[in-house]
Structure 1
């Protein structure tokens, strides 16, 4: 009997600026489908994402913003947005996602690092984000990049009882 050794497949991984036709719609659709499949969230979550994406697309801000798409072998596989926060020195990390097929390639970490580097280079002093306690894998990525939990509050959204969390990273 022979044993076949499987070598890991090399993938071409690219993180590029968001801006190609279809990118905005892909972010909305993928968030809606992914979070429904993984957490049972209803279309209210997709509507929230659509609002954030529309706000980003309108642009016209005095403070810098940017967004990125991760691709694996030429296929969209993740996203992150860096948008102005509530005060002048703070940015917000928004809409981090990595598709199920692309997990384990370090995309979440690369996308968060891209956002933090942009925020720092743009003169922001801190980055905040809002997530929910069920997002265990994302929270591990945030912690690894220096984010600390600053607040937690129960809420009922997307058809579920959840605990919303605010995280902050000082740059």
Structure 2
């Protein structure tokens, strides 16, 4: 299926090269994150204000949507990360059982927070499995954010245990 994605940038005086580089990076990041193998076309346009002055750049890319294999690969990687954090949460829970009362209570609270974040990420991945098209991309962004949130919370909990 052929898809179109639009990127925009505000122009700053005398910085048009930087805006183009930022757009290049945004497009490259998008193409890489989506597993896109075939970009059909890329076009730029300058947007103008009421006096005809350049105020922004619009870049439009047309691409061929990756097949189901690419989606499955992305989901597989996300599920692998989720499983890894599940194992880490269980490891922390096991440590909590060997701690004194106050330390155990604090670690158990952190474990419960991590489990809630893990469940949120798991639900987002399940929604992604059921959805296609552009909605899938929105859900993917949410799932990636949930996994990143879980990762940060996990790293904080692990960091506190090492002190």
TM-score when scaled to structure 2? 0.26
Structure number with higher strand proportion: 1
TM-score when scaled to structure 1? 0.25
Structure number with higher helix proportion: 2
